[in-house]
Structures are given as C-alpha cells and as structure tokens.
Structure 1
C-alpha cells in the first residue's frame, strides 16, 4: 500500500502536465487564406480529410473554420455588408444552411465537428467581437435565467464597433448581467456543437483592444468545462505591453496584422518577433496552460485574396526561399503554425516545407529563443556577378594563387586594374595541379577548369542562374558550376560560354547588407543548439559568425542554469570550440566546424543549422557545451 501511494504521488504531476492547455504552440489548418469567407461544408471536410492524412502525423491537429460561416452567399453579400447573417432567436450566429446543409433542424455545426473528430482532428471556429448589429436591429432576447428580460439593445455598446467591420459588430457591456449572459450563451452553444478552438477577432491590437471582453470570454470558456483553446486577433500594431494585459486569459494572441504572401509583410515581422521574444512572452502562463504570440497563418500553396468572394485560384507569390525564411522565423519565435493554403490542391513541396523535422522540433521543443545582435558576428556581403559576352569583358580579370584562406587550397581572385578585389576557393576539375607564382602549371586537359567555392566549411559554389546572371548554390556536379579560366584571364562559364564580371559593392551597400542580416538562436532539449541566419536583402549575402559569440550572447541574456557552460571559460584563450553541424533545409551534413560558422544566403533566404558542440581547454577541461 505504501508503494502504491508513492506511485500515485509521482504520477500526479505528470497527469497535470499532460492536461495543460497549449503546452506547445498549436498547429493546424485555417480556411481563410484559401477560401476567404465563402467556404462550404463539402470543401471544409475535404480539406479536413487531407489534413488528417498529410499533416496530422506532424502535429497539425486543428482545422479552423474562419469567419462569416453564418453569412448568406447571395447577391449583395460581402465581408462589409450588414444584414446577411443567419442568427437564432437569441441573437447568436448559426451556420448558413445553403453552405452547411447538415446544420438544418437546429443542429448547428455539430455534424461537421463530429466528422472532424472522427478524422482524429480538433474543430475550431472564428467568431467576431460582441454582438451582430443584425441582432441589435431585431432586438433579440438574451438567453439565460436572469433577474429581468435583457435584449440586444440593452447590452450593445453601439459606439464601440469593430474598427474594420463597423457596420456588422459592436461590443457588449460585459459589466451588465445581460452582457455576461449573452457571452456565456454563445460559448455554451459552441460547446454543444463540439468546438475545440475559438479564434476571437476584433478584440486585440492598437485599434480594437478590449481586455474586458477577452477576460469575460475566458471566464465563459472555463465555465463550460470544455478544454477549448482560446485565440484572439487581429493584433495590428500589437506590442508586449498589450500582450501582458491579455496573455494570462488566452492561449494564442496575434501580434501582426493579416499576413499575406508578400515579402514586405514578412520583412516587417522580423522586428515584431524580436521584440516579443526579448520580452519573455514565448510560452508565458495562459488560460489553464500556456500562451503563445501568434505571427498569423502561413500563406503557402494555393490561395485566394483578402476578403475575396471566391475560393483558391492562384499559387503563393512568395518564392521558395521566402517561404523557408517565413517558416524558419515562425519556428524560432515558436509561433503557432497554421497552414492557410488549400489542401485539395496542395503540392509536395509545400508539404515538405510544413513537415521539416528540424523546424517542427524547434517550434515545439526549444527554449532560449532570441534574435542575436553581437559584435562577434561578422557580415561580408557577396558581390553580384553578371555574365557577359567574353569579347566585351575588359573590366574584370581573374587569376589563381596560393591560398590564404585555408592553407594550401588555391584561390581564384578577381582584379580591377591589377588590384585584387576579392577571392574565392578554387577546386580544379582534375586532381593534379600546382600553383607557382600565380601561374598555372598544366598537367592535363581541363586543369584550368574547376569550381568557384565560397567557403571551405559551407560549400556554396558560383552557379549560372540565367544567361546574364550568376548565383551561389550548394556545390554539386552540375555543369552550370564548372568555370574555365582562359589564357586572357577571363572566367568563362562552361555551360553558357559567357564570362563573369564582378559588380563591386560600395561602403553604403555593405552597411545595408549588415542591417539586412538577422541571426536567431535557440537551445534544443536534446542538447542541440539552433542558429538561423536570415538575409533580408535583394542580393546574395555571405555571413560568418563565431560560435563563441553566439553562446555568450545567448547566455548573457538568460539565467544560466546549473550545469551550463561556466562563464569564466567563455573568453579563456586556451578554449576552442568544435561542433558537428547540419543544415536543415538542404539536409546537408556539414561535418565538423571549428568556432566559425559560414553561410551564403540567397536573396530573402535563410540557413538553419543544428549544432552539437564541445569545448576544450587542453589538457585540463573538456565538456559538451550543450549537454542537457
């Protein structure tokens, strides 16, 4: 009996932890980016089935029906048009029966929720603030066992409308008996339908902050007894101070306006992510669990347009590199991950992005997540290299010389007026070569052909992108990466027969390159150390950073737990750092690197590294830097 009592005491904390709501950032699918407000029951369930098959195994467990599921789809109806909503006798929204035929006979969304649950998923809905102006106009009765009869006009604060749908919704007076009863009746109905997730709109952000309504809804959810996840939005110009007012009442809160497939949207979110991470709000206490700053949905795949009256018809305008950057940033700041594209037309490339193992591990299980700005991080903007007819190339010349970067590895350098402008590493096409006084001694055909490599530790090669432009990409056996050094010191592409011309960068553009590079770090629960490098510039960018500098920057901004790296060793000259590195998006095993991490970043692109590191103070000290 004593042993049994001991087991019960030991197991109880685990049981409580498992019941905690949102103990990691929620994941799922949302209908808005692909169907706006006009999605039908058939389309929703088709998407849910595919989410269950393709994304549920990776933790995407919610399917969320976004806004205006109660609005009639008929002539004159639109996002901003009032008077087209279906409401019951108590002023509560009910599904449009033309789009949601299973809702007839007062069943609401329960038949849909039942089918979602049968797929192993959880069902979510979008709701607006307060009460519909349509209910106010009809002056519906408030449901509840109340001290008197309350009607919609008694509880509606008609001067406090939703800023972006002023004709349609107004706040209710939460301090009034009737106001509280109306909100409770809404959530009692959602529970009767089997709702697991509520996205409550027009209550958070600079224009629509309504702390009292958020608090009242939070209390109503608790009163139902159902473990509903509570999310609020839209988050326009949200800041950490606003977040602290509501984070304890919710599980998710939007910290950006609507994010669409535009680079300027994504670029603006880097500062937002930095500020909320620095404020310590990632995974803060929330409604019966934790709360998470929400960067909005992922606008990948097949989409529609904001507020459109039609469904998906086009692919995302974000490039593949931009999509990788967005998903990496969302992972590093531990934002909820909700895919917005149409699952019916989803492509395998998008599924591969959404299910990247390292990205999901960071999103679900990391800590010490932060942007790092540190003097030990060095930025070196890569030159732009154009391709021109070799007969017309007179400015840029190239030469081979003994290596200065990496021992005896030869370098190929570009010159302007006999002055060296910069160098890359050179890997000849044949193994036998010598370099003597910057002249090549030939030992066989093709020895003056080879690859132009940016870094030894991060093997990116000069590659042909178009007939007029070169790029940097992972080294491979492609002919587009083979270059020929001609006797007249021109570097010719073996594929295009055009010659390389370097466009030098001025100091102003180099300073811009520094400001357009972002570095994030996070710690993994299994000892991994994650580093994400982002290039916000329009050109390729080469970044080199010190692992030591990253470690210092990270631990100086956090409490050093027992067993962490002793701070007295950080700047000890006798210590060196050695890491086994992998890059998540290319899935490349980089191997062992010593202290410095180098990467060539595509325009708007990123690199995401996972590291297992040890430090040495020979012969007296050796330890894993990132042991759990």
Structure 2
C-alpha cells in the first residue's frame, strides 16, 4: 500500500497528527536512490550565502487563498503592495505557494506552470514583479510530491534550480511533504540530505536566491534534541526556516486564528538562542487583513513578530486591505524593530499563563520591550529595568510605538490596563 499523503505541518490545526502521519507513512515508503543520505553531500557550516541580512518581508498567497490562485490574483496583490505603500516599507518579495504548477512534468522533465492559472508562464510573472520593483518567490518541495500532490523536486534538484534561475526567481520556499525515508536511515538524516541537495543546487546556479527551509516544522513533535538539531543545520543550508505548525487559514474561525497566533508565538519565542543575525526563525505568516481578528489581535501579532526578528510575510487580500490593517502592517517604527541591524531575536524575560514580556537589544543602544496580555481581561503588566537587561540609568525614555505616546520611567517599565489580546511595545532609551 502506498503511504498516506503527508500534510504540511499544522494543516487544519492538526500539526501533531500531520507530523505523526509524516513519520509513520514515509518510513514505510520505498525510497528512490536519490533519497538515501550521502555523507559526502552533508552541508558545510555557513556555505549558503547570507542573502537575508534582515528578516525577509513580503506576501505569500497560502494562508488566505490556498490553491485558489492565478496570475491575475498574484499581480493584483503585487500592485496593491505598491499602491498602498507597503512595498516601499519593505514588503517586496511576492511568493507563489503550492498549486502553481501542472500535475506532471513536461517532456524534458521540466516543471510546467498550470496553463489555466498562469497562462503566460512563470518567467512572465517574474518579469512583471521585477518591473514593479518587487522580488519573485516560488514554492517547491524536497519530496516526491508537494503537499498538494504536484511534482516535487526529489531527483530533479539541479534541473529545478536551473529553471528557477532562468525564470529570475529571487526566493524559494521548500516544503517537506512526501519525503520517502531510505531503509537504514533516519528521518532526520534523510531530510538533512535532501535539503542539502536543494541548497547546493540553488547555490550552484550562481543566482542569489534566498532559501526558506521548512524542515524544522516536520520535527516539532520529535523531541527538542532532534528539533533543535534540525534547526541548526537549516541555518547552514538556508537563510530562514519554518519552525513548527502553520498559522491558521482564512477559512478558520477568528478564535482559531487567534489561538494559532498565540501558539506560534509561544513556540518561536523559545527558539531565540537558535537564531543568529542573517539566519531567521520563521513562525509563519501575518494575518492582518480581512480575517475577523480584532485590531488588538493583529497588532499583537505584528508587534510580537517584530520583537522576534521574524520574517514579516503577509498572507491576505492586499487589494481589499482596510485602513486599520494598512496601519498595522505599515507602522514604520514597529518595522524598524523587526529590521534592526543588530539582528537579534528578542528573548522572554518573564511570563505566566496569561502574559509575556520580551526584551530585544537594538543597534543604537536602545532596547525594545513588549508586554503582551494574552488573557481575556485587562491587566497591568510591568518588568524591572534589571530583568529587561537595561543599563543602569537615572531614568528611561519610553516611546510607545503603536500610539506614539512618549513617557519617562524612573525604574520599572509599566503598561497599565493592557486590554485583552493586546501588546504594548516600547522603545526604551536610557537617560
């Protein structure tokens, strides 16, 4: 019996089940010869170019549109990024996720764009994006098939990378569905080898292609030791990596979307020690837009993602973006925290069941501090200067980055009456 399809992590908020299915189904699958790990091909530390010195920013269709995607939808959203000013604020990489291709390769083994969805082909799409001053991102999978059963790159890494380079692709997101495990090899060994092969193939094209690795998401429930090990080599073969469960889809309820934001924040916040400048933990897409979430909830996600130096990749209908959502996504002071040149992920300095406080050192000597109320009632949150890692000073200047309000503190950093699901984000300057 052929193995069951492997869902991408967290599909329909069933991440644990999906990853369990991945392990069970694929270990039983017959493995092509190219799936067998080759020690000579093991990735060397630091070999993939540092093509993302700041966390990537842009747009991806998956969370909002899933497979209901076509050339017009992509280009309409791209134009909206430019028209709304979001592209000018950094949201410049437009990535087409799963379902862009036909069900079979062409006569020469090449990937073929779906002729109905993308009648002018992918090279044309890339040219249109580049003419707008945007970057072109595309999706593939290191397995035999993508998550939605389109052709995967296993056995075709060199050819597919060359094809992407020919199309002038700037960014590749590589998933890990339908990966057959070679007999005598572990799941971790196999994923490491296949992602290493794709990494080398992209590098060998000579084109600077930012590489987003999804491998760690398939190990979130395999224990912290192996999960962290996979994150470690993901930082060698690529520029950023999906750490765990997908954020909720547009079809999910607002409550499920908020729950997924909190869940992804909680797992990613614990990974700060595994991130380094230019190599980024990715807790998945921003949901600001027509999602049913409140202003406080979409602002919390934006502020928390900025504190974690996470990629800021919107997945919504930008063509119908409300003024409220544009304000959240386009807040230049919050974006500056995310894009800070020091490149440090903020770390948890205190937390309880309903709140968390993060601190993030910034390049100019300031510190960003986020006080997050994840509970259902308003709370006053505070942290001492020492706990937040602030240098000793007679006082501290506080700039609240959402409201713009400026205050001073003689010691503790306090946010009073923080509404439910809200985050207060300060930029703190000693003296």
For the criterion TM > 0.5, the same-fold answer is yes
Long gaps (5+) in structure 1: 1-18, 72-84, 104-108, 133-161, 173-178, 284-289, 302-314, 375-512, 553-564, 571-575, 615-628
Q: Find the counterpart in structure 2 of residue 92 from structure 1.
A: 110
Q: Find the counterpart in structure 1 of residue 353 from structure 2.
A: 515
Q: Please tell me whether residue 34 in structure 1 is matched to residue 64 in structure 2.
A: yes
Cα RMSD between the aligned structures? Answer: 2.5
3-state SS, counterpart of residue 361 of structure 1: helix
- Change in CA separation of 1:248 and 1:359 when aligned onto 2, cut-off 3 Å: same
Kindly report which structure 2 residues correspond to 1:194-343, keeping only aligned pairs within 5 A, or say none.
194-202=168-176, 210-233=191-214, 235-238=217-220, 239-260=227-248, 262-277=257-272, 279-283=273-277, 290-301=278-289, 315-343=290-318
Q: Find the counterpart in structure 1 of residue 137 from structure 2.
A: 124
CA distance in 2, matches of 1:113, 1:336: 21
When the two structures are aligned, how many residues end up with a matched partner?
A: 359
Kindly report which structure 2 residues correspond to 1:532-611, keeping only aligned pairs within 5 A, or say none.
532-551=370-389, 577-590=394-407, 592-599=408-415, 600-611=417-428
3-state SS, counterpart of residue 387 of structure 2: helix
User: C-alpha deviations, 1:456-509, integer Å up to 9, x for none?
Assistant: xxxxxxxxxxxxxxxxxxxxxxxxxxxxxxxxxxxxxxxxxxxxxxxxxxxxxx
Point out the structure with the larger helix share: 2
CA distance in 1, matches of 2:219, 2:178: 10
User: C-alpha deviations, 1:375-401, integer Å up to 9, x for none?
Assistant: xxxxxxxxxxxxxxxxxxxxxxxxxxx
Q: Return the TM-score normalized by structure 1.
A: 0.54
CA distance in 2, matches of 1:224, 1:367: 28
Kindly report which structure 2 residues correspond to 1:144-163, keeping only aligned pairs within 5 A, or say none.
none
3-state SS, counterpart of residue 344 of structure 1: helix
CA contact (8 A) 1:332 1:363 kept: yes
Q: Find the counterpart in structure 1 of residue 127 from structure 2.
A: 114
CA distance in 1, matches of 2:178, 2:210: 16
Q: Please tell me whether residue 62 in structure 1 is matched to residue 43 in structure 2.
A: no
- Change in CA separation of 1:123 and 1:170 when aligned onto 2, cut-off 3 Å: closer
CA contact (8 A) 1:371 1:521 kept: yes
3-state SS, counterpart of residue 271 of structure 2: helix
- Change in CA separation of 1:514 and 1:97 when aligned onto 2, cut-off 3 Å: closer
Q: CA deviation at 1:598?
A: 1.7
CA distance in 1, matches of 2:336, 2:312: 12
CA contact (8 A) 2:92 2:134 kept: yes
User: C-alpha deviations, 1:386-427, integer Å up to 9, x for none?
Assistant: xxxxxxxxxxxxxxxxxxxxxxxxxxxxxxxxxxxxxxxxxx
- Change in CA separation of 1:268 and 1:318 when aligned onto 2, cut-off 3 Å: same
Q: Find the counterpart in structure 1 of residue 14 from structure 2.
A: none
Q: Please tell me whether residue 363 in structure 1 is matched to residue 338 in structure 2.
A: yes
CA distance in 1, matches of 2:344, 2:238: 22
- Change in CA separation of 1:273 and 1:45 when aligned onto 2, cut-off 3 Å: same
Q: CA deviation at 1:357?
A: 1.7
CA distance in 1, matches of 2:71, 2:117: 6
CA contact (8 A) 1:203 1:211 kept: no
Q: CA deviation at 1:340?
A: 0.4
CA distance in 2, matches of 1:545, 1:291: 29
User: C-alpha deviations, 1:521-542, integer Å up to 9, x for none?
Assistant: 1122123221100011111111
CA distance in 2, matches of 1:578, 1:60: 36
Q: Find the counterpart in structure 2 of residue 492 from structure 1.
A: none
Q: CA deviation at 1:251?
A: 0.9
CA contact (8 A) 2:372 2:424 kept: yes
CA distance in 2, matches of 1:272, 1:65: 26
CA distance in 1, matches of 2:164, 2:346: 37
CA contact (8 A) 1:276 1:282 kept: no
- Change in CA separation of 1:345 and 1:203 when aligned onto 2, cut-off 3 Å: same
Kindly report which structure 2 residues correspond to 1:414-563, keeping only aligned pairs within 5 A, or say none.
514-551=352-389
3-state SS, counterpart of residue 339 of structure 2: helix
- Change in CA separation of 1:282 and 1:326 when aligned onto 2, cut-off 3 Å: farther
Q: CA deviation at 1:240?
A: 2.4
CA contact (8 A) 2:288 2:314 kept: yes
3-state SS, counterpart of residue 63 of structure 2: helix
CA distance in 1, matches of 2:88, 2:377: 37
CA distance in 2, matches of 1:292, 1:594: 34
Q: Please tell me whether residue 51 in structure 1 is matched to residue 81 in structure 2.
A: yes
CA distance in 2, matches of 1:204, 1:251: 23
Q: CA deviation at 1:335?
A: 0.7
CA distance in 1, matches of 2:312, 2:72: 24
Q: Find the counterpart in structure 2 of residue 443 from structure 1.
A: none
Q: CA deviation at 1:92?
A: 3.1
- Change in CA separation of 1:230 and 1:170 when aligned onto 2, cut-off 3 Å: closer
CA contact (8 A) 1:367 1:522 kept: no
Q: List, as ranges, runs of 4+ consecutive aligned residues in structure 1 with deviation greater than 6 Å.
A: 203-209
CA contact (8 A) 1:263 1:322 kept: yes
User: C-alpha deviations, 1:98-143, integer Å up to 9, x for none?
Assistant: 121213xxxxx111111111101110111122334xxxxxxxxxxx
CA distance in 1, matches of 2:339, 2:61: 23
CA contact (8 A) 2:172 2:210 kept: yes
CA distance in 2, matches of 1:21, 1:171: 22
3-state SS, counterpart of residue 22 of structure 1: coil
